[in-house]
Amino acid sequence: MANTIKVRAKLAGDVTTVKALVSHPMETGLVKDKKTGQLIPAHFIQEVTCEHNGNNVLTALWGVAISKNPYLSFRFKGAKVGDKLTLRWVDNTGKSDAEETVID
Amino acid sequence: MRKLLSIVAALSIAATLPYTADASPDQDLKEMRAYFKKRFPKVPFQDYANGVYALDAESRAQWESIEDFPPYEMSVDNGKKLFNTPFKNGKTYASCFPNDGIGIVQNYPLFDKASGEVITVEHAINMCRESNGEKPLKYKKGDIADIAAYMAYTSRGKKLKVVVPNDPRALAIYERGKQHFFAKRGQLNLACADCHVSSAGMHVRADLLSPMLGHVTHFPVYRSAWGELGTLHRRYGGCNEQVRAKAYDAQGPEYTALEYYESYMSNGLVLNGPGSRK
């Protein structure tokens, strides 16, 4: 799977801010293809998780309301500079991708 | 809406538009700069390349946080891939441009002495394709925008330096662009200048009007309204439709002339394409 996640994490004080941009069509399944007139099948991320030092710090359950190429940002406490973070997504077709980054 | 129109109309009459018929391009440029200097005394010259974000602190803060993960990044990556993919005959885009097509956007649009035409980046891309036996790309979005975005990205940091030589053909195209900019059009009877000179920095419904100075530096642009990248001529068409005028063809003589005029007027500004806008 081609890399679809760009993620950065920054520590300020005791709060880490994680920002990520995910490349994904996020098709709702309600849009018709202009050329064929057929419905484009639903293809969207259902779950996003973020792990830090083996702990899950975020679980996001997404649906069709999230737009194409979603941007995600969240904050959590309890990390240090140099710690590793892994962001992962799974979509409704079963595909997934993950990306690791280091907190700075 | 009527109130807005009457305000715009009043301003058009009240404000002295920096328009002198038959002035030289250099004179036009000086007048336009002086107008904006007077209008926005606190805005540094180079900041005009950021459009409305040079004028409004709140939207600037939002824009800067979007630039953290620029929405055009994926298009630039795709553009780089397309730029480096050889045509069927084995050649690449690099063979059509000076310096292999890297860091050259500041010279466009350029006046070609041989043909007497003004060539824009997008037109040059298609000329390259056709001379290498490939079909031309559509001009408003898609691959052409991605390739232009990559070329714009490699030209970041360069100062725009469009040349209008002392050639009657070039001056005619420049004049045509200038006329288009100041002529009223559409059901709403508005000229580009009405919004982007007289009313620059003011609101039209929920949007801020950008000053014409710096208009072209950040194209192609990822416009949130489009949800994708688009070219300058796509925006020209959209803008004309917004005043309820029929849009001209992308890369047709009208918009090419307009781009020539607008780009000359933004000479000296540092290129910052591709950009992201609301």
Judged by CB atoms closer than 8 Å, whether chains meet at B227 and A68 is answered as yes
Judged by CB atoms closer than 8 Å, whether chains meet at A21 and B227 is answered as no
What is residue B22's predicted lDDT score, i.e. its pLDDT? 72
Complex ipTM more than 0.90, yes or no: no
Q: How far is CA B41 from CA B79, B137, B167, B256, in A?
A: 38, 42, 35, 31
Least confident piece of the model among A3-12, A60-69, B7-16, B86-95: B7-16
Q: At what angle do helices B143-154 and B73-84 cross, to 10 degrees?
A: 100
What is residue B6's predicted lDDT score, i.e. its pLDDT? 54
> What average pLDDT does the segment A93-97 reach?
96
Chain A: closest CA distance from residue B206 (Å): 22
pLDDT bin (cut points 50, 70, 90) of residue B14 is very low
Whether the per-residue pLDDT at B258 is higher than 70: the answer is yes
CATH for B2-69+165-277 is 1.10.760.10
Q: What tens digit of pLDDT does each residue of B143-168 get?
A: 999 999 999 999 999 999 999 999 99
- The domain spans of chain B are 2-69+165-277, 73-154
Residues paired with residue B203 on neighbouring β-strands, in sequence order: B208
Judged by CB atoms closer than 8 Å, whether chains meet at A21 and B73 is answered as yes
Specify whether the CB–CB gap between B211 and B265 falls below 8 A.
no
Residue of A nearest to B74 (CA): A23
Q: Do domains B2-69+165-277 and B73-154 have the same CATH topology?
A: yes
> What average pLDDT does the segment B238-267 reach?
97
pTM: 0.86
How wide is the angle at C-alpha B264 spanned by C-alphas B179 and B233, nearest 5°? 65
What SS3 state is found at A47?
Answer: strand
**Considering only CA atoms, which of B190, B181, B178, B180 is closest in space to residue B7?**
B190
Chain B: closest CA distance from residue A21 (Å): 7
Residue of B nearest to A72 (CA): B69
Domains defined along chain A, listed by start: 5-102 (2.60.40.10)
What is residue A1's predicted lDDT score, i.e. its pLDDT? 43
Q: How far is CA B22 from CA A88, B16, B25, B172, B194, in A?
A: 62, 17, 9, 11, 20
Radius of gyration (Cα) for chain A, nearest Å? Answer: 16
Q: What tens digit of pLDDT does each residue of A40-91 get?
A: 999 999 999 999 998 999 999 999 999 888 999 999 999 999 999 999 999 9
Q: Alpha-carbon torsion B90, B96, B98, B104, what sign?
A: negative
Chain B: closest CA distance from residue A72 (Å): 10
What is residue B8's predicted lDDT score, i.e. its pLDDT? 56
Judged by CB atoms closer than 8 Å, whether chains meet at B69 and A71 is answered as yes
Q: What tens digit of pLDDT does each residue of B104-113 get?
A: 999 999 999 9
Whether the per-residue pLDDT at B16 is higher than 90: the answer is no
CA A35 – CA A27 distance, rounded (Å): 17
Residues 6+ apart with CB under 8 A from A35: none
> What average pLDDT does the segment B234-258 reach?
97
- Residue matched to tokens 């441009």: B97
Residues 6+ apart with CB under 8 A from A85: A7, A9, A16, A18, A50, A51, A52, A79, A100, A101, A102, A103
Chain A residues whose beta carbon lies within 8 Å of the beta carbon of residue B74: 23, 69
- Percent of chain B with pLDDT strictly greater than 70: 94
Instruction: Decide yes or no: CATH 1.10.760.10 for domain B73-154.
Output: yes
> Any CB–CB contact under 8 A between B71 and chain A?
yes
Judged by CB atoms closer than 8 Å, whether chains meet at A19 and B69 is answered as yes
What is residue B9's predicted lDDT score, i.e. its pLDDT? 53
Specify whether the CB–CB gap between B77 and B112 falls below 8 A.
no
Token pair listed for B61: 């803060």
Whether the per-residue pLDDT at B116 is higher than 80: the answer is yes
pLDDT bin (cut points 50, 70, 90) of residue B3 is low
**Considering only CA atoms, which of B160, B159, B197 is closest in space to residue B15?**
B197
Q: Which of B69, B74, B276 to mutate to test the interface with A (most CBs of A within 10 A)?
A: B69
The per-residue DSSP string of B10-75 comes to HHHHHS--S--TT--HHHHHHHHHHHHHHH-TTS-GGGGGGGGGGT-HHHHHHHHHHTTS-TTHHH
Other beta carbons within 10 angstroms of residue A8's beta carbon come to 17
Residues 6+ apart with CB under 8 A from A88: A48, A49, A50, A51, A96, A97, A98, A99
CA A6 – CA A99 distance, rounded (Å): 8
Chain A: closest CA distance from residue B234 (Å): 20
What is residue B20's predicted lDDT score, i.e. its pLDDT? 77
Residue B24: phi, psi to the nearest 5? -80, 155
Other beta carbons within 10 angstroms of residue A100's beta carbon come to 12
Chain B residues whose beta carbon lies within 8 Å of the beta carbon of residue A67: 227
State the number of CA atoms in the 13 A half-sphere of B64 facing the CB: 8
- Percent of chain A with pLDDT strictly greater than 70: 98
H/E element, B203: strand B203-204
Radius of gyration (Cα) for chain B, nearest Å? Answer: 18
Q: What tens digit of pLDDT does each residue of B211-232 get?
A: 999 999 999 999 988 989 999 9
Question: Mean pLDDT for chain B?
Answer: 92
- Residue matched to tokens 């559409």: B186
